[in-house]
Amino acid sequence: MPQPRQDLVEFFAPDGVAIVGQVNRTATRAQLDAAYSSRYRTRWYLVNPKGGEVDGIRVHTSLAEIPDPVSMVVISTPPSTVASIIDEAGAIGARYALVFSSGFAEIGPEGAAHERAVADAGRRTGIRIFGPNTNTNAFETIEPEVTKLRGGRIGVVTQSGHNGRPVVQGAYYNIGFSRQIPCGNEVDYDVTDFMEYFAHDDQTAVVAGYIEGFKDPDKLRRSLEACNSQRKPVVLLKMGSTAAGSRMASSHTGHLTGSDQIVDGLFSQYGVTRVRDIDELIETSALFAKLPAGTGPGAALYSISGGSGTLMAEICEAAGVAIPRLTDATIERLYELIPRYLTVSNPIDNGGTFITSQPPEVRQKAITIVAEDPNIDVVVIGITGAIGGMTDKMADDLVALADTCPKPIVVTWNSPKTFGDGFEEIVSTGLPLFRSFRGCFSALRAFNDYEAAAASGFRARKVTRSRLSAAARSALTSTAPGEVLGADASRVLLSEAGVPLAREAVVTSAAAAARTAGEYGFPVVMKIASADFPHKSDAGLVRLGIGSAGAVRAAYADLIARAEAVDPSARVDGVLMQEMVTDGVECIIGVTRDPALGPAVMVGLGGIFAEILKDTAVRPIPFDRRDAEDMVRSLKGFPLLNGARGRPKADVKALVDAVMAVQRLVVAAGDDIAELDLNPILVRVRGVVVVDSLVVRGDG
């Protein structure tokens, strides 16, 4: 089980801090003490080359003048001076540096050179560096302090100093936060370090992040494994929806798989909730922090309007959140309070006048009855309009029930009017609060998904390292980096890896083509054998269903002539003869590489599903067999594999076997494989067979 990292614990509990840089010489001792003692909770010392005093507090001219040991140096000096200050800090035994200064890689080449010098100084001295281009938010108390902390606190880590600020301002909605950590330019410590810190922080229940990119996939996985081991949900706003396909010229996989898909695949492996904007990050993280772990998926939808209930139900169902029918006994109990012409089976419509005509104990009893239903796990109260006394009374009821209701309550406030009319009273309860049904139900779905993943058991992914056979290694290195392997080399490489291939052979004459076709049995498939035509169909260099020896000889001559006409300079090895496989569901398996997360394997339905609908699933390596099964079953076209509309069931197990075989091949080959396509791979009633493949040599 992952253990807390002592360096991160020490970083947040420094034993003496040196503050290097500009000094406010008009400040009073009390002002300086309020600024620094409350922030660092330890001894602090001012350092500036001019020396002197500020209200009786000595300003040291250098770090060497400080009479006592300090473990952290906070640097706010010009970027050209920071590396030398870190060297000085190393000389006095400091272990950490917080570099507040800006003007590094974010401004261009000159700043990037200063940033490299800072990183070098850190490695040289052994000092761990936070920043540069950051601030001291990580050490500051988040205000305002919540008046009603319900559940746990959220740890916030960001790669944008400013975008962490609106997140922690959720404190105004009674959302609790432990720390806000803006990581700056990350020359050393990065977001994954602090995700790992939060995993073991007793004051943190949920990890929330604003992320622009990851630098080290192994550190990312380690941090997520730590969060999972401590059952700390992770909610991330991940930026950078850039299609990896734009740089992939050879393979279908590159065009079908974007960076976002690879990120989503990794997040799926580790139970990470991905959100798309700041509001969603705040509200979803708050739901995770406030809703008790183990809360089930069944939602009761309670409102003052039939129209509101209908809208709630539609958005709830679209989000994939269960809306169970209340038991008959519960319905009868509700009809003792609510008129029978109203619908109360779920959604529950109290008719509005119920709120204004009934005393508090009756109104609250109705919500309690709903919560007591055995089919219900959480009660969602939808407030769609701020209506004077009506919403005031609903707020009063929520205040009374917040700590006594048998099931958790979640509230939506859908009106733009947030002043008066009960809104502030609802905020004061600390209940999970959303400003839209969409935000509420997408967060509930994410919570339910996380609970399901936790119940099935979080796990680390490891791949057993293996080596390519001599034959496979020879085949892979038979061409130069960046080039497409020839047909013979691809066949040797894939068959050695255990990937099932259709019978095929390269021939160099029309007579050999006819002879091979006779051995395979008619009809056959014929394709030009040339690495210079990676997409043979697009160039008209594939012939299907050739049914006689004469037709084979004619097709051979036609393919050779066609290849020469399309590209006279192309290298042509001959014609690839292949048995014709006509049964099975057409799929695709491919490999691409993400600059940050490394190699990833894609599986999808072939044909129109791959090219137009892009029905694919992706996981970065390493993944396990359960991941591969999840990939296949997540496809929109999976029913085609599972026997939809009377079709025979395809061999899904064999498809998963092929996905795992491709992963093993890529792990063994390392950087020597840049791209790989098995397209199509036909999934039959028994087994699978690859009828076309493409492998691009990497630069390993």
pLDDT at 350 (0 to 100) = 93
Q: Contact at 8 Å (CB) between 156 and 177?
A: yes
pLDDT at 388 (0 to 100) = 79
Pick the CATH number of 141-290 from 3.30.9.10, 3.40.47.10, 3.30.390.50, 3.40.50.261: 3.40.50.261
Q: Which helix (H) or strand (E) segment is 287 a member of?
A: helix 278-290
d(CA 521, CA 149): 75
Q: What would the two tokens of residue 334 be?
A: 């509700």
**Bridge-based pairing state of the strands 177-182 and 154-158:** parallel
Instruction: Report the Cα 244 to chain-centroid distance in Å.
Output: 16
| CB-count burial class (<10 Å; 0-12, 13-18, 19+) for 646 | exposed
Q: What would the two tokens of residue 490 be?
A: 């691809």
pLDDT at 241 (0 to 100) = 59
One-letter amino acid of 576: L
d(CA 643, CA 629): 17
Question: Which distant-in-sequence residues (6+ apart) come within 8 Å of 583 by Cβ?
Answer: 682, 684, 685
| CB-count burial class (<10 Å; 0-12, 13-18, 19+) for 556 | buried
Residue entry with tokens 């056959």: 524
CATH superfamily of 6-130: NAD(P)-binding Rossmann-like Domain (3.40.50.720)
CA dihedral 320, 322, 323, 325 (to 10 degrees): 140
Question: Within 10 Å of residue 645's Cβ, how many Cβ atoms?
Answer: 6
pLDDT at 255 (0 to 100) = 42
CA atoms 10, 13, 17, 21: torsion sign: positive
Q: What would the two tokens of residue 435 be?
A: 């400003």
CA-only gyration radius of the chain, Å: 32
pLDDT at 608 (0 to 100) = 67
Question: Which distant-in-sequence residues (6+ apart) come within 8 Å of 455 by Cβ?
Answer: none
pLDDT digits (tens, 9 = 90+) for 438-461: 999 999 999 999 999 999 999 999
Mean per-residue pLDDT pooled into runs of 10, the chain (700 residues): 89 97 94 94 97 96 97 97 98 97 92 97 98 93 93 95 90 97 95 98 97 91 96 93 42 51 93 96 98 97 94 97 98 96 96 92 98 98 88 95 97 90 93 97 98 93 87 94 91 94 94 96 95 87 95 97 95 94 92 89 84 87 96 94 88 97 96 92 95 89
Q: Which helix (H) or strand (E) segment is 589 a member of?
A: strand 585-594
pLDDT at 3 (0 to 100) = 85
d(CA 64, CA 91): 8
Q: Which among 271, 266, 313, 263 has a CA at the least distance from the CA of 288?
A: 271
Pick the CATH number of 299-453 from 3.40.50.2300, 3.20.80.10, 3.40.50.261, 3.60.40.10: 3.40.50.261
Class of domain 585-697: alpha beta
pLDDT digits (tens, 9 = 90+) for 113-153: 999 999 999 999 999 999 999 999 999 999 999 999 999 99
d(CA 402, CA 98): 42
CA distances (Å), origin 410, targets 94, 168, 538, 542: 48, 20, 55, 60
**Bridge-based pairing state of the strands 673-683 and 693-697:** antiparallel
Per-domain boundaries in the chain: 6-130, 141-290, 299-453, 503-580, 585-697
d(CA 285, CA 447): 10
pLDDT at 256 (0 to 100) = 45
d(CA 422, CA 414): 13
Pick the CATH number of 503-580 from 3.10.20.440, 3.30.465.10, 3.30.1490.20, 3.60.15.10: 3.30.1490.20
Q: What would the two tokens of residue 233 be?
A: 């949900």
- 6-130 and 299-453: identical CATH topology: yes
Question: Which distant-in-sequence residues (6+ apart) come within 8 Å of 515 by Cβ?
Answer: none
pLDDT at 596 (0 to 100) = 85
pLDDT at 1 (0 to 100) = 67
pLDDT digits (tens, 9 = 90+) for 556-581: 999 999 999 999 999 999 999 999 99
pLDDT at 246 (0 to 100) = 37
pLDDT at 647 (0 to 100) = 85
Instruction: Report the Cα 163 to chain-centroid distance in Å.
Output: 18
Question: Which distant-in-sequence residues (6+ apart) come within 8 Å of 255 by Cβ?
Answer: 245, 248
Q: Which among 204, 203, 212, 207 has a CA at the least distance from the CA of 184?
A: 212
d(CA 525, CA 469): 29
